[in-house]
Amino acid sequence: MNRKTAPQARFLINEVIFNRETEVEGTTDQLDGSFLLDFEQGIVDVGQFEINMRSIQTRTVDFNLEDVRTSNSSLNDAERDRVIRAYILESARDEFEFATFDPTNISGSPESFEPGDRLDLVVTGDLVLRDVTSSVSFDMQISIESEERISGSATTTILWDDFDITIPYVGGNSAIASVGDQVELELSFVADAEEREQ
């Protein structure tokens, strides 16, 4: 049974902004992927996931930048988004608009499953950002709500260095004193069975 996702992708990273430690969240609903669950054969397969990096929007989690920024600073969430698209992920460039995750191995799949079960999997594969590929493993939970619907989430942690990404405008006279070197990635999804062509 093939299933397509109704998605959300989210990342979390630590920053020090205006001398305050905070967490920055980036989200997009422009995520696509697929699953195959074969109840008769006990087979779980995870297809490629694709994330539109250009559509990511960020925010500081525990305070509003507009409330604390100084009069000579133009830093806000929209400006951070612009820097991400232009300099960090370079997703303003057409060739870097999308990140992809191609699974190469799935572990933890049971021999059989049925509606009401939860699957706890480790899905390893190739994550591609800006034409740089690195192997990552997602901890994935899939709740089988029925034979027609599943929901779940997947999490992993990556390092900027793994993808040759550097963060500009940090330190010195910048409002951003530091940015964490690792990023938490979270995917969430609800997937409904596709109609099979006759």
Q: Between residues 194 and 147, which one has the greater pLDDT?
A: 147
Residue 69 has pLDDT above 80, yes or no: no
The per-residue pLDDT for 196 is: 54
Q: Is position 22 within any domain?
A: yes
Q: Is position 198 within any domain?
A: no
- The pLDDT mean for the chain works out to 89
Q: Is position 59 within any domain?
A: yes
Residue 36 has pLDDT above 60, yes or no: yes
Q: What is the pLDDT of residues 94-149, one digit of tens each?
A: 999 999 999 999 999 999 999 999 999 999 999 999 999 999 999 999 999 999 99
Q: Is position 141 within any domain?
A: yes
Residue 70 has pLDDT above 70, yes or no: no
Q: What is the pLDDT of residues 40-57, one digit of tens each?
A: 999 999 999 999 999 999
DSSP string, the chain: -EEEEEEEEEEEEEEEETTEEEEEEEEES-EE-EEEEETTTTEEEE--EEEEGGG-EEEESSS-HHHH--TT----HHHHHHHIIIIIS-TTSGGGSEEEEEEEEEE---S---TT-EEEEEEEEEEEETTEEEEEEEEEEEEE-SSSEEEEEEEEEEEGGGGT----S-STTSSEEEE-SEEEEEEEEEEEEPPPP-
Q: Is position 80 within any domain?
A: yes
CATH number for 29: 2.40.128.110
Residue 71 has pLDDT above 50, yes or no: no
pLDDT (mean) for 155-172: 90
If one counts the domains in the chain, the total is 1
Give the range of the structural domain holding residue 83, as residue numbers without chain letter.
2-193
pTM: 0.88
